[in-house]
Amino acid sequence: MQAGSGIQENLQGLLGVTSALVAVFDADDRLQFANESFRSVFFVGADEYPTWEEIFRRNHAAGRGAVIKATSIDAWIASVSSRRGKTRHRSFESDIIGGKWLWVTETVQSNGWMLLVASDITSISSTDRELRIDRDIALKAAQTDELTGISNRRHIFELLHQICQDKDAQPEVHICACLMDIDHFKSINDTWGHQAGDSVLANLARSVRSGIRLKDGFGRVGGEEFLLILKDCSIKSAQKQLIRLMDRIANSSLLEGRPEVTLTMSAGLTDIRTGDTTETIYSRCDKALYEAKAKGRDCICINIHDRISLVRTDLEPETSPRDRKPGVPGRAA
């Protein structure tokens, strides 16, 4: 940058007059900067700095902004959040209520901050648009768990593979992975039916997804088993975050119409090291999860260098008080 060139002033001026939508979101996905074009299209006031989720929820409720083709805004938010902010670059087409089409590019820094730039492509020939839209829909379907709307097994393992490569390139960065499993899930299906079980899985997935950072990965790997990837997170920090998530789940009603039914989870946690592969990471998590189940469930086991230690979530002072004894009335046992 040339000294004394007035670059800052001119950049501000250009951002004010360009038709391109420009916005910057921080690691918590809260808007930190947006030019007039972005604020106009997405109905954000000049002095407002909402989160990405808040922008889309209120616009959806008002019938404006982006076209959202989903029966549930919660499911749509969970699905998009499973892909948004997970890779350095992402581009896609988006249509706006009223007929406008945008080409959107998201660029993410290692610290989680995101630059969003969108250009109006409405006037460009739409001959190949249907093909591109069909491609985007197919890509989304290939990455999304149909029941829960979060990452499916294939996508979460692709993210884990990328994490391994990032770790090799930046060995000083702390990253953790955790395998989580619903305790006694079979009793839900046996007592209330498989449709109730499906509802529990979907509600739990959305609850966890909304309780973690945008840059973290979360996906369903099969049945009632989920994989969580925590970036820029030490084992100690991961442990605290897991306790908060597990308390959140245990203190929530995840089965509609049955507030007395609550659930707990068991978790197997490990750190990601240089030279790791998806197989070695999953194996350590799986061994720790198996140990957590063997120790009575509703707890976290940590696998460090194949040495497994138990963390009982009810001994953590930061958690909210709740009875964790197995078989208490109202708990799915």
Residues 6+ apart with CB under 8 A from 184: 297, 332, 333
Q: What token pair was written down for 160?
A: 């884990």
- Report the distance separating Cα 299 and Cα 283, nearest Å: 18
DSSP 333: -
Q: What is the dihedral of CA 57, 60, 66, 71, to 10 degrees?
A: 100
- On whether the CB atoms of residues 333 and 187 are closer than 8 A, the answer is yes
224 is catalytic: yes
> Among 48, 54, 158, 224, which one carries the catalytic annotation?
224
- On whether the CB atoms of residues 302 and 308 are closer than 8 A, the answer is yes
Instruction: Give 180-237 as a 3 state SS string.
Output: EEECCHHHHHHHHCHHHHHHHHHHHHHHHHHCCCCCCEEEEEECCEEEEEEECCCHHH
Say how many Å lie between the first and final Cα of the chain, rounded.
Answer: 64
> The tokens 């973290």 sit on which residue?
216
Looking at the chain, the number of H-run helices and the number of E-run strands are 10, 11
Percentages helix, strand, coil for the chain, rounded to the nearest 5? 40, 25, 35
Closest CA to 159 of 216, 202, 109: 216
DSSP letters for 54-101 = HHHHHHHHHT-SB----S-HHHHHHHHHTTTTSSSEEEEEEEETTTEE
Tell me the catalytic residues: 224
